[in-house]
Amino acid sequence: MAKQVKRAYKYRFYPSPEQAAELSRTFGCVRLVYNKALEARTAAWYTERRRVSYAQSSAMLTEWKRSEEYAFLNEVSSVPLQQTLRHLQGAFAAFWEKRARYPVFKSRKKSRQSAEYTRSAFRWRDGRVTLAKMADPLNIVWSRPLPEGAEPSAVTISRDTAGRWFVSILVETGIGRLDASSETVGIDVGITSLLTLSTGEKITNPRHERRDRARLAKAQRGLARKAEGSNNRAKARLKVARIHARIADRRRDHLQKLSTRLVRENQTVVIEDLNVRNMIKNHSLARAISDAGWRDLRGMLEYKCDWYGRELVVIDRWFPSRKTCSTCGHAVNALPLNARKWTCPACGTVHDRDVNAARNIRAAGLAAQACGDGVRPQPRTRGGRPSLKQETPTREGRDPRPSGRRRKPRAAFSHQSIDRGD
């Protein structure tokens, strides 16, 4: 039975000069409203200890439109302006739930430029999209068809730093579940090999950024030599942005194909809960980790497993998958990073470091499915029989992270210092 999901289809489009000017004005107004609403909510708490809700922010927007200073907000569609207030409310909700940091102001140069139109702000007729305040439909390149009979519920227009225009069409469609499979795979992520599977297969890391690093460095040197505010600097900035866009597109395409293959071939996919944000603080590995796209891969696996009726199991990040023998369960005290192969002192098995980790991750995932989250595979004796000796549990409530000096949080706001908004 097909599962009904909301799915966005993204296409490239080429606006006319009039459409580009209208959309650019809309982007600017959306950014202004977001920043003013964020400033008002922050100031209201710090000066008056008063909470500002979405309804109050919407009332502020009405007052801004009536003022002489911000009367130009009436020249664009009102729907994207209301939607950006909803996005701000969502950002605050994520902050209160400790899923994100405090919302920051949008920048014209650094932030993604976008505007969301709901059903009342665009017309869908004969497979063509016409936005509010525009007379002609968008010139969309239909690289793939929309699902038959699908009716768009929202349209998001965006422009990236390379100057490319995109339209994302949100529709509700049915996705058929895949046939059940008995396969379970454990995945160990890495840098030399992007993924190592519990089957022993290693998937090479394409290193998209490294392949274009020379071109990128040359373009960045050219940008650094251009005078601030000059037309030549704008052209050089666009050249750098296009190289970055090429790298990101190739990385995303590879991860999409790889995640689809893993979901189609396996009923259960087991991965580690990695804290990528802290890992990239290692300046020696930050560029390689960012280029690998581990967090993007996890996000793709999450929604694809949900779509196609698969199960994604995420095991504890402190599980010693690399230092534990997948044959007998013996755990060594230390394993240097340069030791790609090691021999278990208990049973004598020679392990490939990454393959052994992937097999342990798979075993931990199967144990979590059967007995509950956090279960680890039990060690075995030399004869292969399960050992009665259990692994010594850690002290309850003890922080498993190594001790050391901790940095103060860089965020300017804290959960305790700001009251919640409705």
Active site residues: 188, 272, 354
CB atoms within 10 A of CB 344: 19
Q: Where on the phi/psi map is residue 102: left (φ > 0), alpha (ψ -120 to 50), or beta?
A: beta
d(CA 7, CA 363): 33
Find the helix or strand (DSSP H, E) in which 23 lies: helix 17-48
Q: Which of 197, 166, 179, 173 is nearest to 27 (CA)?
A: 166
Distance CA 287, CA 284 (A): 8
3-state secondary structure of 341: strand
Nearest to 162 by CA among 225, 226, 220, 246: 246
**369: number of Cβ within 10 Å:** 15
**DSSP strand pairing (184-189 vs 128-131):** unpaired
DSSP 270-294: EEE---HHHHTTSTTTHHHHHHHTH
Rounded-to-integer distance, Cα 15 and Cα 130, Å: 11
Euclidean distance between CA atoms 164 and 238, whole angstroms: 11
